Amino acid sequence: KDSLTAILNFLKKQHNEETGLNIVLTILSKHQRSLNHNITTQRAVVNKCALRLLTAMIRLSEASARAVYRSLDVSQQGLAALAKKRSSVDRWSVRALYISFITSFFYVKSPEVVSWVLQQRSLVQGLFKELEKDAKHSILTLLAGLRHLAGR
C-alpha cells in the first residue's frame, strides 16, 4: 500500500471513518480543479500523484468512493488516455496506477458506485487494450478486481 492509503487508514482506525471522509471531502471541494488538471497533464509524475491520491480516497470507505466518483469529470479525454501511458522502466507506470485506480472501485460495496464505473466505457475499455504488454502485477491487479466483482 502507498503512504496516502496508509495515512487515511490510520485516521480511520485511530479516530473514525468520518475524520478520513472529512479530509477527502475537503480535498475534493478545495482542489477538484487541480486534480482534474493533474489527471490531464502530460507529465507522468503529476498523473501518478493524482492517481495515488484518488485511489487512496476511494479505498477509504464507500462514502469517500461515492464522493470521488461524483466529483470526477469522466468526459475529459485525459482520464481515459492514462490507460495508454505505459513505461518499460517504471514498475508503477501511469497505466499500472490507472488500473489500480479503476479496480479500486470494484471493491466498493455500493452497487451504485460499481455500476457507474462499469458504465464508463472509455474508462473500462482502456483496462483491456494491449493487456498482454502489461507487467505481471498490473494484470494480477486487474484480475483480482474482476474476481472480486464476479464473486459478489
Q: How far apart are CA 148 and CA 152, in angstroms?
A: 7
Task: Give me the pLDDT at residue 147, please.
Answer: 95
Indicate the pTM of the whole model: 0.86
Is residue 1 predicted with pLDDT exceeding 70?
A: no
Task: Give me the pLDDT at residue 2, please.
Answer: 59
Q: pLDDT tens for residues 24-75?
A: 999 999 888 888 888 888 889 999 999 999 999 999 899 999 999 898 877 7
Q: pLDDT tens for residues 61-93?
A: 999 999 998 988 777 777 888 998 988 777 789
CB–CB of 39/76 below 8 Å? Answer: yes
Alpha helices for 15-135 (secondary structure H): 17-40, 44-60, 62-71, 77-81, 94-104, 111-119, 121-128
Eight-class DSSP state of 42: S
